Structure formats: C-alpha cells, structure tokens
Structure 1
Amino acid sequence: MDEYAVKMLPFQLRAIQKDWLAVSSTGDHVFLSEDQAKSLAQGHVSELPLLLQADLKAGFFTTSCAPSGSSRLLASRKAARRETLSSGPSLHIFVPTLQCAHSCQYCQVSRSLTDTKHTISHSALLAACDGVFESEAQALTIEFQGGDPLLRFDLVKSAITHIQERNRAEKRHIRFVIASTLHQLNSEMCDFLAQHGVYLSTSIDGPAHLHNRNRPIPGRNSYERTVAGIELARNRLGREFVSALMTTTKASLADPEAIVDEYVKLGFGEIFIRPLSSYGFAKRNQSLLGYRPEQFYGFYARALNRVLHWNAQGVELREVYASIILNKILSPFDAGYVDLQSPTGAGQSVLVYNYDGYVYPSDEARMLAETGDVSLRLGPIGSSLATLRQSPVHQQLIASSLVDEMDDCRNCAYQNFCAPNPVDAQAQFESMDIPALRTEHCQRHLWLFDYFFSALKHAEPDRLDLFHAWARPVADSEIMQCGE
C-alpha cells in the first residue's frame, strides 16, 4: 500500500456569496475558490496547493490510506462535540408560579399578583428538588422561571434550602439562577441570595420608552423599577451576579443601535439579540408584534455592528448569539446550547418542573402548554428520570431531531453545528415531523452560519481575535429567559 495515498473522508460544500466553504465530519472548515471546490468534490486533491492539502488532512477531509491512529483521533473529535448530551440533564428549570405584575404582549403568564391557581404545590416542589439529583451530571444549574419567581420567594427559598441540604451528601457543583423583573427585590432577599451565591437574570429591551412599551405595568415605570433592582443587586451581590437579555419585537426594529447603547450605558458585558419566539401570546399577537425573518436579519446585522463598534472603542461587550454560533464553528468543544443539539437537548440536557405538576423537556415546551398544547409533557413531577426518558414524547423528540435521519439536514454543510428543533416545529406547525427547511429555526440558523462564516473569511486580525474570544463557552447550556 502506498503510504502517501490519500483517502477522501465525508465532507459538505456550501456556496456563500462568492466564497466556497467546505466542512468536514468533525466540523473543521476551509475556504475555497470555485475551482478548488470543484477539484475537492471530484476527489482530485493532488491538484490543490500543497498548503491546502495539508489543511485538508489536518481538518479530516482526507486521510492516509496507510494504517494509523487517525481513525481514533477522528472518533474522539466527533465525540467531543456531543459530550454535553452524554452527561445527563444539567439545566433544571423550576417554574414556581406564573404570577406577574407585567402585561407583556409576547408573554404567556398569568397577569395577576394574587392568583394562586398557577402556583406549584409544596410537595411537587420538593419532589422536583429531589428529582434533580437523579441526573448523572456533576455540574447542575437550577434556574427559577415564571411569571416572576420573586413574587413567591418563599417557594424559591424552600427549594434552594432543600437542594443545598441534600447536596451536602451528593456533593454536586450547583449554580442557582433566578430570572425576574427584579421589581420585588429587597435587602432581605439579597441577604439570602448572597448567602447562597444566587445569580439574577433580568430583561432590558432597550431604552426606557421601548422597554416600557414592550413590558408595561400600571404606572408605566417598568424600566425605572428594573434598573433600580439591577443597582440594588449589583451593590449587594456584585456586578457579576446580574445579567440581562432582550427580546426583539416589531417596535425594536427601528433602532438596534439604541438598544445596544442602552446595554453599554447600564454597564453590561453581554447582550443577547434574540428574535421573538412563536409561543404564548406572542403567537396570538403576530400582527402586532411579529415581523418577517428578513427583518430580523437586518436588525441583527446592525445591532452586531454596533456591538463591534463599541469593542473597537475599548468597551468589552459580547453578543451572546454570536458567541453561540462562533463556539459551534471555532471550538472543538460544544457549549451545549440546547436548541442546536442533535439529538435535541430538550429533555436530555434540560428539564422543566412546571407549576402545573408536570415535567417538560424545555422552557418553550411548557409555554406551549399555556396556550392549550400539552402534547410535550414528559410526565408528572416525581416520575423517575428513567421513566421520563422512556416516555413516548421523549422518544419522539429524539427521533425528530436526528440530523442523519433528516433529508434537509444530512446533506447540509452545517449539520455538525445545527439541528432540527422539534419543539419549535410543534409550536409553528403543531407537529414535530416537519421538514427542517420549512421552519423559522432552520431558516434563521442557515442565515446566521452563512453570516458568521463570511465574517470569519473576511475578518481583519483584531476582529478574528475577538471572534475567537467570543467562541469560548458561555456560562450556561441555555440562555436564561424572563417572562417569555
């Protein structure tokens, strides 16, 4: 056997404007000219420049025909991208209540401060706390969602205390997060949160006029009260314990620069430019709140340019969506973003213990239940993890998210980085078994990967260094959400 003979390995090609992109089965990539792409597609590797041939071998596009250890390395590289799925559920979302003072038009929560019908029972809460420890994951994030969990701080305290007491024997690494408007935050709460190292996540949709429009409360001072809560939390817990995110509505589209500038003004180091999701009242109010995917793409590009502008001025600000995409492209170790895992991370890396006494595979799945679609319930709180995993819903979620089984995905250049999202498909089409290309999830991520591969191809060295810094994994496997 000729030790210098070359064997082709699986890869995919994609044209991005005038550039050609090749991606191997390990997620390594190279940029090619049109002629080089044709030569590679035809297997004529010897016709390519020697340096490119070396890059193709290093990126597992080709391998030597002679026996070597490269097959073990290839298997290891592939396994590293799926490591987050094999470690068990690491994100556990508790929804103690749907009570909330806000009347956000894109939210699904109960619009009441006193409603007790939408609050978890104490027995179900403690059963959920015990269920967390059935996961094999050694690092666990416990996130409290709502509604606004601070309206039932008694339940939050009870859960944190119970989990901490049990963890004395379990010895897991546990991180607590509360997603809240912060309007109810007070010094007594801060004392407890500081004692247990609890992180806070809130929502800032932009300048005061936009935030108050998107997230109205009686008195029209939602923005001012949230900012006051941020300052109290920073003073009592530390700046690193408070984060924020935004949701893009139709009203947001006009001025992305002002939204980014607001995050700089408030001293945040991150901003997540998120599209509106088709859940809850957002789905019902599409004519008022919604927009075409192309409108979001233009908005996102302008917002990211503003983020990059501030970084060029020496202001450190990371755009989280960019970090998620760049982590997929540039890092061999996947950060575990639930929506882009295959098989899906919904139910595998995240579980939701809802106020209604049921376990759901993701935050979006429990939102569907608020509009009457309870098809994604995994089982009652208190069911064993093994029972939840064996449920027909969980099995269908997995079957509907396997890249290798999906016609639209198996030949896609981004199959290593992306995946179908069966929960989104259920929300959009009332079925998980929908061709991926029909879904907004697929269309949006095709655009995002095209956008960032093109940006990488044409980036100056300083910009490239920034992108590599952003590619380091973000704090959690799923970005915290508030009131959506």
Structure 2
Amino acid sequence: MSGFRGVEYYAELADDAAPSYKLLPFRFTKLDGDHYVVTNMAGEYEILGRSVIEELVDHRLSPKAPEYVSLRSRHFIADHHSRLGPDFLALKVRTRNERVSHWTGLHIFVLTLRCEHACPYCQVSRQSENKTAYDMSEQNADKSIVLALSSPNQAIKIEFQGGEPFLNFELMKHVVAKSTEWNAQLPNPKSISFVAATNLAVVTDEMLEFCKEHDIFISTSLDGPEGLHNKNRPRPGGDSYFRAVSGIQRARQMLGRDRVSALMTTTASSLPFVREIIDEYLRQGLPGVFLRPLSPYGFAVKTKAIRAYNASQWLKFYDDGLDYVIDLNRRGIDFREYYASTIVTKMFKDEDPGYVDLTSPAGVGTGAVVYNYDGSVYASDEARMLAEMGDETFKLGSVSDSFEKIFTNDTFLTALDESFAYSSPMCNDCAFEPWCGADPVFHWGNSTTSAARSGTASSAPETCIYSEPWLAVWSPIHS
C-alpha cells in the first residue's frame, strides 16, 4: 500500500471553489488605523487588515490569498493539508508552559528588615539598624534551606533580601555554607546560584571577597543622577548616590562586570528625568535599565508616594524612555530597556524568560517563594510586602511546615487558579494574553475598597492600564 497521496491531493483549487478550513482559537486587538494583531494560544502572531480578518472569520479567505498559507503554518486555521495543526498547536502551548513543571526556582531569604536608608517608597516597611528582633534566626534559616532544597526544580536561586541583607552578614554566610553542604548530600544535587539585593552602602571588601569566593551576584538600586537618587533614597549623611556608584565600581572590580546589576524605581520626582536616568545608567557602564513604577506596598502606601502620579503620567514616562532607548540603539549604542526586552523575547521565542509578573499562571509560589525573617512563608515578594501592611492573604504557612503542606494548601492553589489569564474576564479577549500575565497579589493589594476585596484576586483593569507598553513596543515593530 503506497504511502503517497494521489495527484488530485496536490491539485490547485478552482478559482470559484469555496474555501474549506477550520478556525483554531485566536484573538485580535486593534493596533492603529486598519492594523490588527492576531494571536493564538501559542503566541504565534500575524498583523492583518480588518477586511482580511472578516474574510477569515466568515470562512471566505481564499487559499490563494497571501495570508492563507502563513495563517495555516502558524496554526490559526487547519484544512485538509494540515490535519495535524491542532496537535502541533497543543505541542507549542505545552512547550511555552514547560516552566510550570519545573516548579519553584527562586527562593528569597529575608535575612533582616533592618536598613540604614529611609526611602519613602520602600515596599517592605524597613526597620532601623539596631532592631535585631527583625533578623532571621539561624533555626528559621536552616528550615528554609530544607524547603528550598525540596523543590523539584534542579536549578534553584537563593536570593538574600532585606532590609539590607548585609546587616545580617553572618547569617548570609551560614546559609551559603549550609545550603552548599546539604545540597551536595542529595542523591541528585541541584545547581544553586546566589544573589544579594543590596544598596551597597554598608558592603565592605570582606563581604565582597566572600561574594567572589561563592559566586554571589549583586543586585543594587540606582534611581538616576545624584540629586534624584539622593532624594529618592535618603540616608544619614545624604551620600546614598556616592555609596551606590562607588559600591558598583568596587563590586565590579572584585566580582566582574557581569556580576553586578541595578534597578530603578519611578517616583513623582523621576517623571521629568527619564532621559537623564538612562544617561546615568550609560555613564555607569550598565547594559540596560528596567523602567518600573511604584508598587502599592509598605511605605509607598504609608507616605502616599503611590498616589503621587497616575497611570497616564507613568505611561508617558515609559514611552519617552523607550523612544530614547530605541534612538540610542539606532545610533549604534547597545542598550536595553528590560521590560520591553522581556516582551519581545516572549513574542519572538518559544521559551519564557521567567519574569514572574508576566506569566500565566502567575509566578506566585511556582516562580518564587519567600521565607520571611520571622519564619513565615509567602507566595511572592509582593505577598510578604502585603503582610507587612497587616494583610496575610497570601501567607502559605511557616518554615516549620512540610513542603507538601505549603504547596498544596487552598491559599496557594486558589491564587494559582485565579491567575490563569486565559480564563480571566477581559484578558481572555485580548490578543496580548499569550505573552502577558496577571499577578493576583498586585490586584488584591491594589484594591481600594472592601467591596473590591470581596471579589476575586485575578485580573483587573489596573494591569491593562500599566501594560499599555505592549502597544508602545508594537508600534516600531509593525511600522
């Protein structure tokens, strides 16, 4: 029996033959004018005119139309030439969501809430340097290590946070030593990496030597030029900028240039200076900047910093910054805006970059988990920030609990279930959904009335407002 099809199978359809194809799931969103972006569940996309979409939906699109073959090859439609189309689409969807099966990779250890800075937008409700009651104990640290090593993920990252984690340096050394020792005793040892989120103000050469010895990455804060940074991040002596940039230079010299990164936070004072902020990152030799708004937690709420600007002001700030970054690259200066870079990666590659705020289901618990200084376990860094404000909605348990109890309780499973953007109102109609995500902690924390909090913790209009950079990124792509 021949495995080849007859000649008639390959014959061209007559010009008057009615199109015969099956629509596979897709969505579309208007870009500008007559341009629409059309996406499917796997994140494949096409830019189509309205008339083509109408013909497609009405089953009038001719197989001889230039868009037909492309739509078929990207699994928007299936015909007698592509009966395996639905199976290939399912395979691509599974590949894009492979990270979920790997489970929790980022394990955040809050070594202390103590900090010598007094940032008005601080999300974690820091404490003064002398309040050692806000330090993690060695006992809680050991229990946290056991939980981290229990993760099915074979590549985990332990991130030290605070406050200022180097104010509890002895415990940092203990965690590095014990996690390395206990990991080596596992039947299948994991790949472990370390990172310290620090303002660098109190970091000594001894601390940096330890980081070099154990390959610990440094993540710090740089809010822009000296005046802006000092205003956003005040500390005794008014020298936070000097300590930050000199710390970046020292850390790079001792650890290597690729071992130090920086983040900025946008305050109302930052809004007129997006280009100056980017220029400061260039001046410090940093490869890119992550333009990000304030989060509705901690002192950002208490000091009302979160209310200092609205979504429109933030989007103008972001648009201006992205335009400047694009212009820099056109002039041959290699520089990234990391939020846009994340979006582009999600659009053009099969793998997910793992940015927990843009994943579906959300990264709460599966992408990251937090072991707080007091032994509490939270679904995300934002969840523990919310808890510092008195709301423990997303507390998963204690470090004394078993791994199974923490990751099978109703708190975790409900948050995970409600974070599937594909099944969320509004999100399920949006063409950007395959690349986007809804953080349930953000929406819960950003609720302003008890009525809002009596509902769901899933998608909400705020994310759509702040995710309009999707459109900003698309404009230069399709034009």
Greater relative contact order (Cα < 8 A, sep 6+): 1
Alignment of 1:370 with 2:392, yes or no, is: no
Q: Distance in 2 between the 1:436 and 1:357 partners?
A: 27
Residue 299 of structure 1 corresponds to which residue in structure 2?
A: 317
Instruction: State the SS of the aligned residue for 1:16.
Output: strand
Q: Check if 1:79 corresponds to 2:101.
A: no
Compute the displacement of 1:437 (Å).
6.3
**How far, CA to CA, are the matches of 2:459 and 2:418 in structure 1?**
14
> Which residue does 2:464 correspond to in 1?
442
Q: For the Cα contact (< 8 Å) 1:103–1:216, is it kept in 2?
A: yes
Q: Measure the CA separation in 1 of the matches of 2:304 and 2:380.
A: 22
Q: Is the 8 A contact 2:418 2:457 kept in 1?
A: no
- Secondary structure (helix, strand or coil) at the match of 1:383 reads coil
The answer for unaligned runs of 5 or more in structure 1 is 459-484
Aligned twin of 2:177:
161
RMSD: 2.0
SS at match of 1:142: strand
**Equivalent residues in 2 for 1:150-299, closer than 5 Å:** 150-170=166-186, 171-286=189-304, 290-299=308-317
Correspondence for 1:141 among 149, 154, 157: 157
**2:440–2:459 contact (8 Å) kept in structure 1:** no
| Correspondent of 1:10 among 8, 13, 25 | 25
CA contact (8 A) 2:121 2:305 kept: no
The within-5 A match list for 1:111-130 is: 111-130=127-146
Question: What amino acid sits opposite 1:307 in the alignment?
Answer: V
Task: Report the Cα offset of residue 37 of structure 1.
Answer: 2.0
Question: Does residue 1:453 correspond to 2:474, yes or no?
Answer: yes
Partner residue, 2:445? 427
Q: Deviations over 1:442-476 (max 9, x none)?
A: 3212x122222222101xxxxxxxxxxxxxxxxxx
SS at match of 1:378: strand
Matched, 1:347 2:347: no
Report what 1:415 is aligned to: 433
Output the TM-score relative to the length of structure 1. Answer: 0.90
Distance, in Å, in 2 between the alignment partners of 1:20 and 1:110 is 46
Q: Percent identity?
A: 36
Residues 127 and 23 of structure 1: CA distance in aligned 2, closer, same or farther (over 3 Å): same
Contact 2:329 2:335 in 1 (8 A): yes
Aligned with 1:205: secondary structure?
A: coil
Q: How far apart are 1:163 and its partner, in Å?
A: 0.8
Q: What is the deviation of 1:50? A: 3.1
Note if contact 1:96-1:354 (Cα within 8 Å) is conserved in structure 2.
yes
Task: Specify the code of the residue in structure 1 equivalent to 2:131.
Answer: D
Q: Does 1:392 align with 2:410?
A: yes
The 5-angstrom pairing of residues 18-57 of structure 1 reads 18=33, 19-46=35-62, 50-57=65-72
Secondary structure in 1 aligned to 2:196?
Answer: strand
For each residue in 1:237-293, what CA deviation from the matched residue of structure 2 results, as whole angstroms up to 9, or x when unmatched? 111100001000100001100000000000001210011111111123336763111
Are the counterparts in 1 of residues 371 and 377 from structure 2 also a CA contact under 8 Å? Answer: yes
**3-state SS of paired residue (1:254):** helix
AA partner of residue 287 (structure 2): G
Query: Which is greater in Rg?
Result: 2
Normalising by structure 2, we get a TM-score of 0.91
Amino acid at match of 2:175: A
Q: CA deviation at 1:148?
A: 0.5
